[in-house]
Amino acid sequence: MLSTSQPKPAYRWLVLAAATFAQASASFALLGVPTLAGFMQQDFSLSAAATGLLLTATYAAPLFALLFVGDLLDRKSERLIIGLGAAILFVAMLLAAASSGFASLLLWLFIAGLGYSATQPGGSKSVSVWFRGDRLGLAMGVRQAGLPLGGAIAAAILPAMAAASSWRSAFVVGAAAALAGGIAFAVIYRPPPEDAGAASRRATLSFAIVAGLLRERWMRNAMVAGLALVSAQYGILTWLMLYLRDHAHIALTHGAAFLFLVQFVGVVGRIGLAAWSDRAPGARFGLLTLSMIAVAAGIVILMLVPADTPEPALALLAAWLGFFGLGWYGPWVAYLAEVAPADKVGLTLGTAMALNQFGIMAAPPLLGLAHDLSGGYTALWAAIVVALGIAYGLTRLTGTAPDGSASHC
């Protein structure tokens, strides 16, 4: 094991690999839930709105946990927090697999979300401190690519496993993967020398500090863009397979290939867009506005394609939605890590990610309700397009500093 007193430049790439693996493993478990939504819908005879509640339960916990996790990351070891989170995720996924009813399944999915809450800000913080001021966008893009990478692998493996055995078996596999990622990170990671004393800081979490962050123009714009884009992202991840089943008569197991494509190209998007954002001041936020336009255009096309559209054309559209609909997260996190106060990077990431959970939590059931009330998918997709349009207008109206600079609280 490397000593933090004599760090080697190459070690930061090992940190990046460990953080990416931990993220991919946790995402394999949690993003496996939407890939299995159709199977659980059939097993429990759920409506579209109730199916969306599966995703709400999964993503509700970070809404409450991320703020506190982010503050802990500014004071405690990333190894401890990510390792403990992986253990919680592991146990909760096993208990979810053993659930005998819909209510207990929702409870264990909620607790699984608590465990997952450590991975996102923890991995982002560990990468930001090792790559501060040098290749931050590229490194953060690679690290954030772990989320769609885990989702892509889940889409490729878990639906087939559920069809051959059951969704419960797929949950067990996801639990084991999450635990492996957390253990690997805890074994490998050490902080850089200048951050070695972080664990000794006293508690500083104050809602006045959080309110001060939210008063910053750069933070407000990041939140508006993030909420709209993350709602679109989870709308696509939750409903694309079901839309292809009901609109284009593509079986769930075959539709999983399209979801895999969305996730896989999302990996490319997160790395590519984040690396692109290193090229010029202001590029990071500019790529967020570009992503809003691109995702809205892609969903409009998805709404208009006839049921007999050739599958290669649907695959191209899925790739477009994956590149921008998931790729936006790389420059978004890099932007926040870059402009946040140096002593509040963890809290800034935790606050932003916690507020993003409103979109992650609310989008699946609300979009499902739109489907149930309208009897089709047009209202569902149109709601996403409208949300993106409003967010684009608001960020254009308030603007952001070209270099992302702002006064810090």
Token reading at 350: 């935790």
Say what the pLDDT of residue 52 is. Answer: 77
State the pLDDT at residue 14.
92
The pLDDT of 387-400, averaged and rounded, is 84
pLDDT of res. 146? 85
> What digits encode the pLDDT tens for the residues 57-101?
887 887 777 777 777 777 777 888 899 999 999 999 999 999 888
pLDDT at 112: 94
What are the chain's domains?
11-190+203-398 (1.20.1250.20)
At 6 the pLDDT is 43
CA distances from 167 to 15, 173, 238 (A): 33, 10, 16
pLDDT on residue 283: 80
pLDDT band at residue 405 under the 50/70/90 scheme: very low
Percent of the chain with pLDDT over 70: 90
pLDDT at 314 over 90: yes
Rounded to the nearest integer, the mean pLDDT of the chain is: 83
Q: How far apart are CA 137 and CA 334, in angstroms?
A: 5
What is the reported pLDDT for 326?
92
- Give the closest residue to 44 by CA, choosing from 32, 53, 56: 53
Res. 335: pLDDT tops 70: yes
How confident is the model at residue 259, as a pLDDT?
86
Per-residue confidence at 380, pLDDT binned at 50, 70, 90?
very high
CB 218 within 8 A of CB 339: yes
Q: What is the pLDDT of residues 122-170, one digit of tens each?
A: 888 888 888 876 677 788 888 878 887 888 888 889 988 988 888 999 9
Tens of pLDDT, residues 255-290 = 888 988 998 898 899 888 888 888 766 788 889 999
Q: Ranked by mean pLDDT, which of 27-36, 126-135, 206-215 comes out on top?
A: 27-36
Predicted pLDDT at 5: 42
Residues 284-301, mean pLDDT to the nearest whole number: 94
